[in-house]
A and B are shown apart, each in its own frame.
Chain A
Amino acid sequence: MSIQEVVEAVRTRFGEALQEVIEFRGETTLVVRRESLVDLCRFLRDDPACRFNFLSDLCAVDYWPERPRFAVNYHLYSLPHNLRLRVKVFLEEEDPVVPTVTGIWPTANWHEREVYDLFGIRFEGHPDLRRILLPEDWEGHPLRRDHPLVVEPVQFSFNWREIDSRKPYVRE
């Protein structure tokens, strides 16, 4: 079973929903519409020709200032066929919502929480969508490209009054 056969199987089954197939450095990327993502993922996992039973990785990319702004990448691996595949969904800035794939690969749970935490992309139907790495009260999503690298200067002082005087939330 080769990756071309998988791409053909997906193309015949999903047709229009498969927007683009990208080949780069020996890696295959399927760009799909958001509406058919879950169906496609389930097909990829269950179809005997694909059997992508292992979700290696799930991560988001911020293409700011280009549009569409966000993309979510699903790096799939097929243990029986020893194949890798990337599924990609593009999202508009105004509507950063994707359906969750936790029902297909439970391991997506924490990956999706991480993407939500750092990019602010929401996963519809996720069982436990909370921040995972940052504190609950953190403002903003730091891996967005328009988020500054340094938000609060490092305080080289133990004088609390001086430190507090530089923090915006203390003055409020």
Chain B
Amino acid sequence: MAIREGEVQEFTLEQLKHLVSERALRGETILLNMGPQHPSTHGVLRLLVELDGETIVSVVPDIGYLHTGIEKHCESKTYTKIIPLTDRIDYLSPMSNNLAYVMAVEKLMGVEVPLRAQYIRVILTELQRIASHLVWLGTHALDIAAMSVFLYCFREREMILDIFEMVSGQRMMVSYFRVGGLWRDVPEGFEDAVRAFLKLMPSRINEYERLLKRNPLWLQRTKGVGVISPEDAIAWGVTGPSLRGSGVNYDVRKAQPYSSYDHFEFDVPLGENGDVYDRFMVRIEEMRQSLRIIDQALRRLPKGPYITPDRKVTPPPKEELAWSMEALIHHFKFWTEGFSPPPGEVYHAVESPRGEFGVYINSDGSPKPRRVHFRAPSFVNLQALPIMAKGCLVADLVAIIGSIDIVLGEVDR
């Protein structure tokens, strides 16, 4: 029977039998519902928690509350018009999503991107990483009752959002990268704004670290909590800072450099114990490394075109439309019909703030893709939550969810 609005679907114990331990069926443990409207689940995540006293026996995540059918929508749009959809997958790092998608299309089309565009892409995605980590740090600290960090983090994030507004006109849903390059060149004052941020930020990162690192409450809540071994982390497909917190050195930027990441020097911070504290330290250190990358990219920012001259994937320049009939026709065809890649399939992964963000595109040779699939790091990382939470206290669950840094828009897509 279909369920109507406002009704709640009831589960019987029989349906849950294979998800919980046998003791739950005998009534020895408690089954507790957490979410979907819970402030510390960072969105609409619902958890079925099995408790023995205060100790967690098992956790069963229930997701899909934010499913928007983005992958289905992609099949009815041209390649250019998918870019705004990718912003909305992981709404805390639209730049990384844009980058993964446009690079996958560039791979499919075989397009070379000018060096200037590549460098600006690196600067903006690294700024995005810092912005995303700031939101994570603020909310994570707030979950463990450290209120002031939250306010500081959002203050600095404003600076990054201002830079994004400067280049793209949007604070969050930027859609700034295009297939073959960028929407426009960066405006005047961009470099100064980024330099001002670079100058300010190192001392601010030290400040956040000092606020938390020597705080005995923070240490008690994070050290030795939510441990995942490197073997488990690899088997469960965990990526990003959550994987590196366990000491596995896998960063897509280093392993398979894209968008000229191999031109820059940076370290990949690693943890040792794989607990909440290590994941926290890895992200703090990652912010410093991002600043290093931005600094190098800004110093060596080359002059030149910001988008490829390949007319297959870029519209003709506006001034050409005034005198060239062919350019006008091409402009019209480009924006209505779109461009057609050769039939085939590609997978391209980038290191988003949350881990390996992959885009799989299957083309049938028409201007619309046959299939677009997004490998969302949050979706995969959340799967490891039951392993991390097993045996912890129920109060630690909030700290562990925060330390995985999930974005539910990305989990459900």
Q: Write the residues of chain A forming the contact surface with B, with a CB cutoff of 8 angstroms.
A: 24-27, 29, 53-57, 59, 61-63, 73, 75, 79, 82, 84, 86, 105-107, 109-111, 118, 127-128, 131-137, 142-143, 145, 149, 169-170
Q: How far is the CA of A128 from the CA of B362 in the complex (A)?
A: 28
For A55, list chain B residues within 8 Å (CB): 237
Interface size class of B (residues with CB under 8 A): 35 or more
> Using Cβ atoms and an 8 Å threshold, which residues of chain A touch B347?
27, 56-57, 75, 84, 86
Residues of A within 8 A of B3 (CB): 135, 137
**B318 interface contact, C-beta 8 A:** no
Chain B residue with Cβ nearest A62:
B371
| B75 contacts across to A, CB distance below 8 A | 145, 149
Given A132-B63, A133-B67, residue A53 in contact with residue B234 (CB < 8 A): yes
Contact partners of B4 in chain A: CB under 8 A: 170
> Cβ of B9 < 8 Å from any Cβ of A?
yes
Return the contact of A59 from the options B73, B256, B373 (Cβ within 8 A): B373
A106 proximity list for chain B (CB < 8 A): 235-236
Kindly specify which of B40-48, B214-222, B375-383 makes contact with the partner chain: B375-383
Task: State which of A26, A75, A132 has its C-beta within 8 Å of the C-beta of B358.
Answer: A75
Shortest B57–chain A CB gap in Å is: 17
User: Complex: how many Å from CA A56 to CA B236?
Assistant: 10
**Interfacial residues, chain B to chain A (CB-CB below 8 A):** 1-4, 9, 18-19, 63-64, 67, 69, 71-73, 75-76, 107-108, 110, 234-237, 248, 250, 255-256, 344-347, 349, 356, 358, 360, 362, 370-371, 373, 375, 379-380, 383, 412-413
Cβ-defined contact, B2 with A169, below 8 A = yes
Tell me the minimal C-beta distance from B10 to chain A in angstroms.
11
| Chain B residues within an 8 Å CB radius of A82 | 255-256
- Contact (Cβ within 8 A) B64 A54: no
User: Which of B108, B356, B371 touches A56 (beta carbons < 8 Å)?
Assistant: B356
Give bound CA distance, A107 to B412, whole Å: 16
Identify which of A53, A63, A106 gathers the most chain B CB atoms within 10 Å of its CB: A106
Whether the Cβ atoms of B383 and A110 lie closer than 8 Å is yes
The winner among B1, B9, B18, B360 for most chain A CB atoms within 10 A is: B360
Return the contact of B379 from the options A79, A110, A118, A145 (Cβ within 8 A): A110
A22 to B78, CA, bound (A): 26
Query: B373 and A57: CB pair below 8 A?
Result: yes
- In the assembled complex, the CB of A52 is this many whole angstroms from the nearest CB of chain B, namely 11
Which residues of A sit under 8 angstroms from B362, Cβ to Cβ?
61
Q: Are A57 and B358 in contact, with the CB atoms below 8 A?
A: yes
A134 to B76, CA, bound (A): 20
Q: Which residue of B lies closest to A149 (CB)?
A: B76
Sampled A-B contacts (25; CB under 8 Å):
A54-B237, A56-B356, A56-B358, A57-B373, A59-B373, A61-B362, A62-B370, A62-B371, A75-B360, A84-B347, A105-B235, A105-B237, A107-B235, A107-B236, A111-B380, A118-B71, A128-B18, A131-B64, A133-B412, A134-B64, A134-B67, A137-B9, A142-B72, A143-B71, A149-B75
